[in-house]
Amino acid sequence: MFYFSKLNDSVIEKILYHLLEKSCEIDAMSYRYESIINLLKSLKEEDELLLHRIEKILKKYINDHMSVRHNIILSDLLSNNIKKIRKYDIDNLYGNILSIPDSGVETHIDSREALLCFFNYISHLLYVKLIPGSYAKDLYKISNAELDQLEGYDSMYSEEIIKRYICKKYGQEKIDKKRIMIDKKSEYMKLLRKEESERKERLMQERKCIVYDILAQFGLHYMYALYEADRFITEGGILNEEELLKEAKRIIEKNREEQKRKDIIKDKLTEYNCMEHKLHYLCKDYVKNGSINYSIDYVIEYIRDLVWIEKNTNYYSLVNNRNPLYNWDEILGRYISIREYKKIFNDYNDLNKTYAVELWLEKNDMNIDKSNIPPPVVIKRMEEVIEKREFNLEKERLINEERKNKIETNKNKKKIKYS
C-alpha cells in the first residue's frame, strides 16, 4: 500500500477503472468487485488518506458508468440500517455523513460503509441473473456433466456462477477453440446434409423419368394425385406399372369429363347472359360431380332465376335486413308469417325470392313487362303469386285486424287502471 499511495490520482484512476472494466467475454465481474471490497477494507485499517482518494475515484466511476439512481437499489442498499432513507438521492448516499430521519437519534454512517454495501449488492445482482441450461451449453460450450456440477434450479443457472467456473477451468482461449471446433463440425454437417439432399433429389429425378417413360408408351402423361407414381418417386422401391396405368387412365378420364361439363355449363351461361355467375357453388358442383347432386337444367334454371331477380327486384335488401315473411310482432307478442307460397327450388331463401317478385308485380300493377320477359322459372313464381294472391291478402288483413284489436284492448286496460 505504501507504493500505491505514492501514485497520483490519474494513475490510481486508470488502475481502478481497468479493474472494474471487463477484459473478456467470460470475465467474472464478482472477482473484480471482491477485489474492490478487499481494497476498501484494507485501506480502512491502514491508510485513511489514500482511502478518501480511492473513494472519490470510485464514486465518480459509479456515477458515470453504473446505473444506481433507482429507488429500489438504494432502498435495498440501506435495508440493514435502523431506518431506510426516504429521499433516495445519490449525493445523500455518498455524503461524508448520512443522517437518517425519524430514528429518534441521529445516526452517522461512514461513506466507505455505503461503498462496501454497494459493491456487495452489485455482486449479489450478478448472481441473480439466471439463464437456461440449454442456452449456457450453446453459448459457453460446456457439457451436461459440467452443468450438473453447478448449482441450479429447474434448468436455470446463475450466469455469474457459470462464468466463474469457466474462467477458472478453461479461460477465454479454450472456449474460443471449442467454438471454432464446433463451428467446423457444424459446417461439415451442413455440407453432408446438402450432399444428401442433392443425392435424394437426383434419385427422385431418375425415378420420375422412369414414370414418364412408362406413361409415354401408352400415350399418357404425369399429373397430380397419381398415388403409385408419387410413392415410387419419393420413397423408391418397386413400381407397380399396372396400378400406375390404371390410376393415370382414371384421372385423365375424370379430367376430360370435368372439362366437358365445364364447356357445357359455359355455353349455357353464355346463351342466357349469365356468365357473371360462373363461379356459383352450383356451377362448381356440377363441373366436379356431374348430375349426382344437381342436373344441368336445375343449375341453369337456378342461375337464370337469380340473375333476373337481382336485376329487377329488391331481393338482397329484403334478405339482408330481415326475413320479411316470418318475423316477430311486438304487438301480438308472437312470430307471424305474412305470406305462404310453394317452393320453386329447395333453397333457404326461395320464398323470399317469390316475395320479391310479388313486390315487383305490385309496382307494375300486377302486369308482366313485355319488354322484359322473365325466364320460365320466374314466370312460375309470378303464377304462384297470382294463385295465392287472395289468400295472402286475406291473411294480411286478418293479422292487421288482430293487431288493431290488441291495441284497443290494451288502451281500454290502461283507462280502467288510471280511472
Report the chain (419 residues): mean pLDDT per 10 consecutive residues. Answer: 76 88 86 89 80 84 65 46 40 41 40 75 83 87 86 85 88 86 90 94 93 89 83 90 90 91 95 92 93 93 94 88 80 88 90 92 78 85 92 91 89 73
Q: Is 335 helix (H, G, I), strand (E, B) or coil?
A: strand
Q: Which residues contact 193 (CB under 8 A, 6 or more apart)?
A: none
The pLDDT assigned to 96 comes to 35
Record the cell numbers describing residue 52, joined without a space.
478518501
DSSP-based three-state secondary structure for 177 = helix
Query: Measured between alpha carbons, how far is 62 from 119 in angstroms, rounded to an integer?
Result: 10
44: how many CB neighbours lie within 10 A of its CB?
14
Separation CA 253–CA 249 (nearest Å)? 6
Q: What is the 3-state secondary structure (H, E, C) of 236-271?
A: CCCCCHHHHHHHHHHHHHHHHHHHHHHHHHHHHHHH
pTM for the predicted model, two decimal places: 0.50
Q: Which three cell numbers stand for residue 142?
A: 460446456
Cα 297 to Cα 279: distance, rounded to the nearest angstrom: 17
In the prediction, which pLDDT does 72 show?
Answer: 45
pLDDT confidence of residue 263: 95
CB 220 within 8 A of CB 245: yes
pLDDT for position 417: 65
